[in-house]
Amino acid sequence: MTGRTSTRIATVLILFSALTLAFTTVLLAQAQNSAAINADKSPQLLPGLDKDLIDTSADPCVDFFQYACGNFSKLYPIPNDRSGYGTGAMVAEYTETILHTMLDSAAAAGAKRSPNEQKIGDYYASCTASDVIDRDGLKPLQPELSRIAALASKDELTELLAHYQLINVTAFFNFGEQQDFKDSRKQIAIVDQGGLGLPERDFYFRTGEVAEKTRAQYVQHITNMLKLMGEPEAIAAADAKKIMALETALAKVSMDITSQRDPKNIYHLMPVSQLAALAPAIAWDRFLKATGIPPVSELNVTNPDFFKGMNALLVATDLDTIKTYLRWQLIHSTDSLVLPKPFADEAFDFYRRKLGGQPEERARWKRCVQATDGALGEALGEVYVTQQFPPSSKQATVQMVHDIEAAMDQDLDTLDWMSAATKVKAKEKLHAIADKIGYPNHWRDYSKLSIMRGDAFGNSQRAVEFENRRQLAKIGQPVDRGEWGISPATVDAYYNPSMNDINFPAGILQSPFFDPKATDAENYGHVGGIVGHELTHGFDDEGRQFGANGNLSDWWTPEDAKKFEEKADCEVKEYGSFVAVDDVKVNGKLTLGENTADNGGLRLAYIAFLADAKRKSIDLTAKQDGYTPLQQFFLGHGQTWCGSTRPEQLRLQVQTDPHSPRQFRVNGVVQNMTEFGQAFGCKTGQPMMPANACRVW
């Protein structure tokens, strides 16, 4: 997503899809042979079912992930510029080459370019001009550093923090807008915990050798960045320790990532005067005015205890330490692509190499393609859709979405644990879900955003501020239900509980996820499972708390709610037993929503495929290319997640990501479906066909 004000609360407001592993791509009308991909050729796309990936020496009833994907890592080892590599990453690489060509063309087109072509072309050209960025050094950042240096008292913090929120420097806390959880027609202001440099609060408190090493490396990283900013080594080292102490104090009053998954924990609508009483160290009336938002009398304070604790910290901390922390937050929050190479290298070394295990930085042009899509996603997306997304793909996806929604309607009738009263409400919500396919009906207007060739830093900052102001301007305005949260070229999908909509951009609607040459079974296993995943998000442990109109409301009978929680607890325990890396297990509570969506989503796709097969008189017992249609369906699902991940990245993922590691997104699902065991002739008691399985939906 573009814009911090949306991104920073994405885990709460937008329950993102199964595909959040940096997938970004473009539609290709024909599937490509996987054997065409090697280090010497441009990236290609996999077909809907790739037999080359299958490890026939493995037993699908013992380890289906190994069976479906066992040869992937032999054919496609993790490149040095990635912390993991899989099906989606291959699609992302293919996309990058397409977008690269588009951006090169826009950068070279000259005076005949459209306004949007000028913007995307000049943004990209400026980003790739590393010699200009290195030559300018920290000069573009100097006005912001001077603002900090000029602070004469803590009272002056208010306006500075307001300004920094607009340019994504979220020192001490975060500020933005959201749909009101309890009245989805309203856009309201929101203040949230923030101000940390490590991935999430528990990094400051975990015990053990690995956690202690990470904290020591983080302090050294801060030291190195301060040295690059001109501080002598001894002063930089001392300042880094002060910053770490301040951030640790902020972390202590922060809510952990798992607790934030419950919308009730992060919704506290209160008058501005009540926030002012909680945290008087910030002059909130002045702060809100300085952000430029329309006048407001109330806002959502996600974690009141945090702001109370933050206030005590502001009072107790001397101004010099605060200014040091602000300098660090400024450099830390600035996109490293627009900073001189030594800064970018240092940021990569800690966040990518040490935390993620990635040996080498990605090529600059690839990172600049991503940056341009992030800053001008719909300007680039409009060009992309015109060239790469045929109407036939949209039509096929719309039909599949409708089929899977019909499957959920049918499945609700079969649930023996849900009462008739709750089923009525569930169907009401299901029938109200809006389907957004491919791209928005109305493209975003970037006319007020100035992009100047040769000004990479300024372009980045102006794009960030443009998006943040665009988001904040929504406060008090009617909700635009046609708006999208991700760009058309993104290989991802999401469900938004406040909007009650599912969103499938053009980027994900291509091979292998949607392969026009694949069988119906394979496509239902791939993209059908993804559609079902997003649909099920509306009824997972978070989504089920929102009604048909997108409001946070309890539409369940107490008995049904209790039964849901009992069934969900089965998945919590099941996934919590999976070992991801070394001695680190999957967090069953953190991943519950995604695991529920994975399991329910594939079951819905299965039901929809059976209906499709019946309509088309497909013989489910006849083998094609060695597999029955039902086996093809499950192989399609399995090959959605083919790939491998470096151990450092696995550890980071388990600690911060609500999605389970890829092998458990395959095995964890099929072992809960007796239909899988029947399709592959498994016996009860084998790992993929346990005697007792979990099922929520």
Q: Which residues are catalytic?
A: 534, 598
- The DSSP annotation for 277-328 comes to HH-TTS-HHHHHHHHTPPP-SEEEES-HHHHHHHHHHHHHS-HHHHHHHHHH
Quick check: helix, strand or coil at residue 125? helix
Q: Give CA–CA dist 352/648, Å, rounded.
A: 10
Distance between CA atoms of residues 270 and 282, nearest Å: 16
Tally of CB atoms within 10 A around 279: 22
**Partners of residue 190 on adjacent β-strands:** 176, 300
Q: CA-CA distance, 556 to 543, in Å (whole number)?
A: 12
CB atoms inside a 10 Å sphere around CB 296? 14
Whole-number Cα distances in Å, 537 to 433, 599, 641 = 11, 11, 19
Structure tokens at 340: 């001189």
> Angle at Cα 645 formed by Cα 543 and Cα 362, nearest 5°?
100
- Angle in degrees, CA 201, 595, 504, rounded to 5: 95
Tokens of 546: 């929102």
Strands of the sheet containing 269-271, edge to edge, are: 173-180, 183-193, 298-301, 269-271
CA-nearest of 388, 417, 380 to 564 is 417
SS3 9: coil
Q: How far apart are CA 19 and CA 126, in angstroms?
A: 30
Collect contacts of 53-56 with beta carbons under 8 A, ≥24 apart. 53/639, 53/642, 54/635
How far is the C-alpha of 152 from the C-alpha of 147, rounded, in Å? 10
Please report where in the chains the tokens 């099906």 appear, as a residue: 87
Cα dihedral sign for 520, 387, 10, 359? positive
35 CB neighbour count, 10 Å cutoff = 10
Q: What gap in Å lies between CA 537 and CA 532, rounded to an integer?
A: 9
How do strand 643-645 and strand 579-581 relate by DSSP bridges?
Answer: unpaired
Classify strands 434-438 and 501-505 as parallel, antiparallel or unpaired.
parallel
